[in-house]
């Protein structure tokens, strides 16, 4: 018979104890009072089939909206600024480089004869002969500006037409070359300036870059957060209100300008008074001439008066025709001549008499040469012409002609 000691079979192969019994046998001996609960608790917790395994660690996905909400909200602005500034910088650099190349390679015609001819047509002839067409008839400083051009060369007063007006050779070749060089340099400067105006395209580039940046900002903002649309609407509303204020300011400015207007200013005119011409000659009839005046002093004025009349309309409230007296201002704008050409010519004739001339009622048709003092036109609004400068001596200007020249005061 096998001997059993403490539930262990001796003399034969022992059977493996159950898992629960192995756990019980591994526990130390307990007292009678607390053995049963402790053994039961240990048995329940140590069963592999009933215990919960430890869950694997969770993988948290990186979300920019949770980690960096402020950065995400400002990302459209950063990208819009980046692309906008980048576009503007690149396009502006290319434009500036191109414009500088065009300015550096700008040139004009190098033929000296062309510029000498221009010096005759635009400087010396207007200085000596004055205005010869209707385009400059009301420009009283036309000849004065032309004479000033002749003195701007590097030769200075030696080529000034105001000093050569009575010379036999009034168009020296060296003066034409010097004054022609001024016109050539001015044409070259104008050519470069016209090419430099291409820099104005920078404004269009900035507008385009701003548009690109705004589009990027707008679409990214809508894709990231729709709540920014309300802020954009609020900003748009504020801009609209500001624009309305500017519109009201422009409207009030126009109203004030219409009410008070500008003060009337006089100006030379030719169509509102007759042309005046008075002839003169010296006592021995060796010098003949004429004072010609076509300019008058005009001023635009408005005459306003109330226009009152009775207006009637049918009243649906009173069921009868209602009439009332209504007035409105009617203004008529016209041109008023404050001083005509006859007055200007008569004033200059007094100075002509002081130079030893008398009035001549009849003057034979002949070639008259203008007294080339631009001050006569600019100060007196008339033109004085004679049939010769050196009547007394071939090489000396007659003193009476010099006296007529001095009427201009220059």
Nearest to 255 by CA among 266, 263, 247, 244: 247
- What are the residue ranges spanned by the domains of the chain? 69-201, 269-299+339-408
pLDDT in the model for residue 261: 45
pLDDT in tens, the chain (410 residues): 444 444 444 444 455 555 444 444 444 444 444 444 444 444 444 454 445 556 655 554 444 444 555 665 666 777 777 777 888 788 888 888 888 888 888 888 888 889 999 999 999 999 998 888 777 878 888 888 999 889 888 887 888 888 888 888 889 999 999 999 999 989 888 888 888 888 777 788 778 777 777 777 767 666 665 654 554 555 555 544 444 444 444 444 444 444 444 455 778 888 888 889 999 998 888 888 999 998 988 888 777 778 788 878 777 777 778 787 788 878 878 888 888 999 999 999 999 999 999 998 877 767 788 998 899 998 999 999 998 887 777 778 888 999 999 998 85
pLDDT in the model for residue 29: 43
pLDDT in the model for residue 240: 44
DSSP assignment string, 348-369: HHHHHHHTTEEEES-------E
- Residue 84 contacts residue 212 (beta carbons within 8 Å): yes
pLDDT in the model for residue 2: 46
pLDDT in the model for residue 120: 92
318/299 Cα distance (integer angstroms) = 52
Distances (CA, A) of 53 to 46, 49, 50, 184, 330: 13, 10, 10, 99, 103
What are 68-74's contacts with CB under 8 Å, separation 24+? 72/224, 72/225, 73/224, 73/225, 73/228
- Residue 156 contacts residue 403 (beta carbons within 8 Å): no
In this structure, the chain runs to a length of 410
Both tokens of 178, joined, read 């010097």
pLDDT in the model for residue 247: 45
For 266, the 3-state DSSP assignment is strand
- Residue 122 contacts residue 142 (beta carbons within 8 Å): no
Number of other residues whose CB lies within 10 A of the CB of residue 408? 21
33/174 Cα distance (integer angstroms) = 140
Radius of gyration in angstroms for the set of CA atoms belonging to the chain, rounded to a whole number: 52
């Amino acid at each position: 018979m096998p001997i059993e000691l403490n539930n262990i079979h001796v003399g034969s192969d022992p059977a493996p104890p159950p898992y629960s019994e192995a756990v019980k046998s591994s526990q130390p001996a307990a007292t009678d009072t607390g053995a049963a609960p402790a053994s039961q608790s240990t048995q329940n917790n140590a069963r592999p089939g009933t215990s919960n395994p430890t869950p694997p660690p969770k993988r948290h996905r990186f979300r920019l909206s949770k980690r960096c909400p402020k950065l995400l909200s400002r990302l459209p602005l950063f990208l819009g600024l980046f692309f906008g500034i980048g576009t503007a910088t690149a396009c502006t650099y290319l434009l500036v480089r191109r414009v500088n190349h065009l300015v550096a390679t700008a040139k004009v015609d190098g033929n000296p004869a062309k510029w000498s001819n221009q010096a005759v047509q635009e400087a010396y002839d207007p200085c000596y002969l004055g205005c010869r067409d209707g385009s400059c008839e009301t420009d009283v400083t036309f000849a004065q500006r032309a004479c000033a051009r002749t003195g701007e060369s590097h030769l200075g007063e030696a080529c000034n037409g105001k000093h050569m007006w009575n010379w036999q050779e009034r168009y020296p070749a060296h003066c034409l070359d010097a004054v022609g060089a001024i016109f050539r340099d001015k044409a070259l400067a104008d050519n470069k300036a016209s090419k430099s105006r291409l820099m104005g395209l920078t404004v269009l580039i900035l507008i385009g870059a701003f548009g690109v940046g705004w589009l990027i900002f707008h679409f990214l903002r809508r894709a990231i957060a729709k709540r920014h649309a309300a802020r954009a609407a609020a900003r748009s509303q504020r801009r609209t209100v500001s624009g309305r204020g500017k519109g009201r300011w422009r409207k009030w400015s126009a109203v004030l300008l219409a009410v008070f207007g500008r003060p009337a200013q006089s100006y030379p005119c030719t169509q509102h008074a007759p042309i005046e011409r008075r002839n003169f000659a010296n006592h021995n009839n060796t010098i003949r001439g004429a004072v010609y005046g076509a300019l008058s002093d005009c001023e635009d004025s408005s005459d306003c008066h109330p226009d009152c009349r009775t207006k009637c309309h049918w009243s649906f409230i009173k069921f009868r025709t209602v009439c009332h007296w209504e007035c409105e201002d009617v203004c008529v704008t016209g041109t008023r001549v404050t001083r005509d050409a006859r007055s200007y010519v008569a004033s200059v004739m007094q100075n002509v008499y002081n130079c030893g001339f008398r009035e001549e009622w009849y003057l034979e048709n002949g070639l008259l040469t203008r007294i080339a003092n631009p001050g006569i036109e600019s100060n007196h609004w008339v033109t004085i012409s004679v049939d010769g400068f050196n009547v007394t001596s071939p090489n000396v200007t007659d003193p009476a002609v010099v006296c007529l020249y001095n009427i201009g005061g220059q």
